[in-house]
Amino acid sequence: MRRFLATLFLLLPLAATAQSISPRWGELQTPIDAVGSTTTGTYPATPTTGYDVGGATAVQVAVVSASTSSATVLIQGSVNGTFWYTLATVLSPTSNGELWAGPAPAYLRLNLSVHASGTISAFVRTRQMAADPIGHEWKKLDQAAVSFGAGTFSSVTDSGLTATRVPYASTGGLLADSSAFTFTVGTGALGATSFVGAFNGSTVTSSTLTTGRCALTSTAGLLIDSSAALCTASLFTLPSLKVSDLTATRVPFAGAAGQIDDDAAFTFTVGSGTLAATIFSGAFTGGAVTSSTLTAGRLPYVSTAGLIADVANYAYNATTGAMTVTNGTAPSISTARFLSTGTAPTVANVGADSCGTTAASIAGKDQAFVVTVGATSGTECRVSFNVAFANAPVCTFTASVATDLHAVTTTGNTTITGTLTAAEKIMGICLSY
């Protein structure tokens, strides 16, 4: 019975310890009273046995300097609070601090062996695990990240990470970050130097793109832009546009649903500037109009619905200026008249002062004209046609004074002779046949 009670007495503390075993680090960071220390020495100074880790299986120690300083901090352990050995050495800690972890000794202290300036602070956190995966050596946290195994945490702070950057697993599973990979809380904006692979999101922002330019796909699918390609919500400005289903020389137009289309009946020839279509409707302004339904040498006229047409018995010779109507009906004198057109002919002396001592003048056209004799009387005036007739025309003349007029006519001129009075007017009509 005594042996049984003794065994039960020994097991009760172990049962109580088993109930407190937890895989998590303690929620609170307990300060070692190096807080506020500015001189060398061991901390805590009292008790001299150091910090009692309370039966923990693993310990974390954070050492922080309030300002950049030259300091050496030894993390030391002891099994009895008397004899100490160094677990880790922290050289010149920074304001971000250094976090070390390792198997727990019975007692723990800091030894501030070198100190130049600044305030040194330290905090300790412990845990108890039946089989702690911390290992057998003390390591700096960035060297021992995988030593802690799986765990569940309400929050994790890694002093080596930078705010707004997205952490990722680097060599050995160590958490790292980069300025090229960020996340902005509030806007939900994920930023990276480049994205590779499929992307599913509401918006994409690239710092290499410029507002107002069209995004283009470059090598390996990289999005780029150009100052020559401008875009707004409703307008694209491009230096050139190629639509693969359009045909050369055809004029593009908007088809169904705004699709750019073309047709063989609507073309444009570069160089000549010729615009061609089967039918033109509406007002037209251009340098020249060519209709494939018209025949050279014929005079066009307006037909049904404004269509321009021609017929063989209504012709015009552009060289001679002759208009020919075959089997046509002459217009009534009471309703129509002929008007001579073209540039005025010229008049000159045939001999010395033969058409007056000063230059004679002429008004009218080749077909009908009026000659005014010079300042003195004369006997002969020659009229040179602006455009030669195809055949020598038949010319008749009347004068305001002279009654003995007659003429000799060729295809290029007509010579008027008679007794001419100064400033007399001679009216002539010349018609070809």
Q: What is the predicted pLDDT for the residue at 94?
A: 78
Q: What is the predicted pLDDT for the residue at 328?
A: 56
- pLDDT tens for residues 46-89? 888 888 888 888 898 888 887 656 788 899 999 998 999 999 99
Decide: pTM greater than 0.75.
no
Q: What is the predicted pLDDT for the residue at 47?
A: 84
Evaluate if residue 147 carries a pLDDT over 70.
no
- pLDDT tens for residues 171-189? 656 788 888 889 888 887 8
Residue 172: both structure tokens together: 């050995």
Most confident of 18-27, 97-106, 344-353: 344-353
Q: What is the predicted pLDDT for the residue at 255?
A: 85
Span(s) in the chain for CATH 2.60.120:
30-148
Evaluate if residue 8 carries a pLDDT over 50.
no
| Residue 16 pLDDT grade (very low, low, confident, very high; cuts 50, 70, 90) | very low
| Residue 144 pLDDT grade (very low, low, confident, very high; cuts 50, 70, 90) | very low
Average pLDDT, the chain: 79
Between 409 and 291, the higher pLDDT residue: 409
Residue showing tokens 């160094």: 86
Mean pLDDT of 82-98: 86
Q: What is the predicted pLDDT for the residue at 380?
A: 95
Most confident of 36-40, 129-133, 375-379: 375-379
Q: 239: cis peptide before it, omega within 30°?
A: no
Domain 346-431 belongs to what topology? Immunoglobulin-like (2.60.40)
Between 113 and 158, the higher pLDDT residue: 113
Evaluate if residue 153 carries a pLDDT over 60.
no
- pLDDT tens for residues 356-390? 998 999 999 999 999 999 999 999 999 999 999 99
Q: What is the predicted pLDDT for the residue at 122?
A: 84
- pLDDT tens for residues 304-322? 877 888 888 778 887 877 7
Between 237 and 400, the higher pLDDT residue: 400
Cα diameter, the chain: 180
CATH number 2.60.120 is the correct assignment for the domain at 30-148: yes
- Show Cβ contacts of residue 43 under 8 Å, excluding neighbours closer than 6 positions: 32, 33, 34, 37, 109, 110, 111, 112, 122
| Residue 329 pLDDT grade (very low, low, confident, very high; cuts 50, 70, 90) | low
Q: What is the predicted pLDDT for the residue at 15?
A: 37
Lowest average pLDDT, out of 101-105, 141-145, 244-248, 382-386, goes to 141-145
Whole-number percent of the chain with pLDDT over 70? 79
Whole-number percent of the chain with pLDDT over 90? 22
Evaluate if residue 287 carries a pLDDT over 80.
no
Angle at 124 between CA 122 and CA 125, to 5 degrees: 150
Q: What is the predicted pLDDT for the residue at 334?
A: 52
- pLDDT tens for residues 186-236? 887 888 777 676 766 667 777 778 887 877 777 777 778 887 777 776 666
Residue showing tokens 């995966």: 133
Do you know the residue count of the chain? 433
DSSP 213: E
Span(s) in the chain for CATH 2.60.40:
346-431
Q: What is the DSSP string of 367-432?
A: SEEEEE--SS-EEEEEEE-SS--SSPPEEEEEESS-S--EEEE-SSEEEEEEEEPTT-EEEEEEE-
Q: What is the predicted pLDDT for the residue at 298?
A: 86
Task: Quote the CA–CA distance of 179 and 190 in Å, as a whole number.
Answer: 12
Q: What is the DSSP string of 236-287?
A: EE-S----TT--TTBPPEE-GGG-EE--TTEEEETTTTEEEES---S----S
